[in-house]
Amino acid sequence: MSDPLLQIEGLQAGYGDVQVLWDVTIRVMPGEITCIVGSNGAGKTTLLRTVSGLIQPRAGSIRLQGQELAGETADAVLGAGIAHVPEGRRLFKGMSVRDNLLLGAYLRRDRQEVEQDLEFVLDTFPILKERAHQDATTMSGGEQQMCAIGRGIMSRPKLLMIDELSLGLAPRLVDTLGEALQAVNRTGLTILLVEQDVITALELASTGFVIETGRVTMTGSADALADDPRIKEAYMGL
């Protein structure tokens, strides 16, 4: 069995006097789509923000291919190979779709390969090619999400973390994004998906973790979690 690409052990983090994460342990295997699901306020976004260096952990370990990243800056984490697509997309107003995408590659110096990756992103999300010179923030929510994901891909990461893929989007757009992510994953890119829509997350992922009040309470294959009566009752209304 291969080693985890990302290994989080005993992670604790929070804001000021408020602790949000309590001894979180998660493993993300290379080449897979792994999902973290849970209700709003469970600590999912805090977990991604801690992994990506936006929040400093209080305890625990974050290792990418064995390299310790706990306590590193966001730039260092990105440079190590973790790209974070944040909740709310956070595109830059007044900048074109193309320029927003290229911002994802700001640490890279391999300009020719950057152009190749840009073509890959535009082929993966054809609507972005049509809107390449449009202000990215004037697009629809689904198109902005495509741009945010494309910007993450442009850093050529080892791990792409996506916070709330489906937030505020129509089911048809979520299906389109899900198909695109599976195509990107088939190129070998490992994806960690944080999602409040449990059904969508478990359909896309091969492995899942459930977080409740800052603690991992369940883990297993996505199929097993989807069939678990506790998941069906708590998150699917079944």
Stated pTM of the model: 0.94
**What pLDDT sits at residue 168?**
82
Same domain, 138 and 22: no
Q: Sheet harboring 67-68: ordered strands across?
A: 18-28, 6-15, 59-64, 67-68
Q: What is the DSSP string of 197-226?
A: -HHHHHHH-SEEEEEETTEEEEEEEHHHHH
User: In which band, very low, low, confident or very high, does the pLDDT at 167 lie, cut at 50, 70 and 90?
Assistant: confident
> Residue 43 has what DSSP assignment?
S
Same domain, 152 and 103: yes
Same domain, 32 and 72: yes
Whole-number Cα distances in Å, 9 to 17, 47, 67, 76: 22, 12, 13, 20
Task: Give me the percent of the chain exceeding a pLDDT of 70.
Answer: 98
Same domain, 105 and 44: no
Among 168, 123, 120, smallest CA distance to 144 is for 168
User: In which band, very low, low, confident or very high, does the pLDDT at 1 lie, cut at 50, 70 and 90?
Assistant: low
Same domain, 147 and 201: no
- pLDDT of 49 > 70? The answer is yes
**What pLDDT sits at residue 173?**
87
Helices 111-124 + 141-153 axis angle, to 10: 150
Number of neighbouring beta carbons within 10 Å of residue 115? 12
Of 108, 138, 156, the domain-final residue: 156
Q: Is 45 strand, coil or helix?
A: helix
The pLDDT tens digits of the residues spanning 92-117 come to: 899 999 999 999 998 888 989 999 99
Of 113, 137, 156, the domain-final residue: 156
Q: Specify the number of domains making up the chain.
A: 2
Among 120, 53, 122, 130, smallest CA distance to 86 is for 53
Same domain, 123 and 163: no
Of 128, 156, 184, the domain-final residue: 156
Same domain, 163 and 46: yes
Same domain, 70 and 15: yes
- pLDDT of 238 > 60? The answer is no
Whole-number Cα distances in Å, 57 to 36, 53, 78, 211: 19, 9, 17, 17
Same domain, 165 and 234: yes
Domain containing residue 214: 1-81+157-238
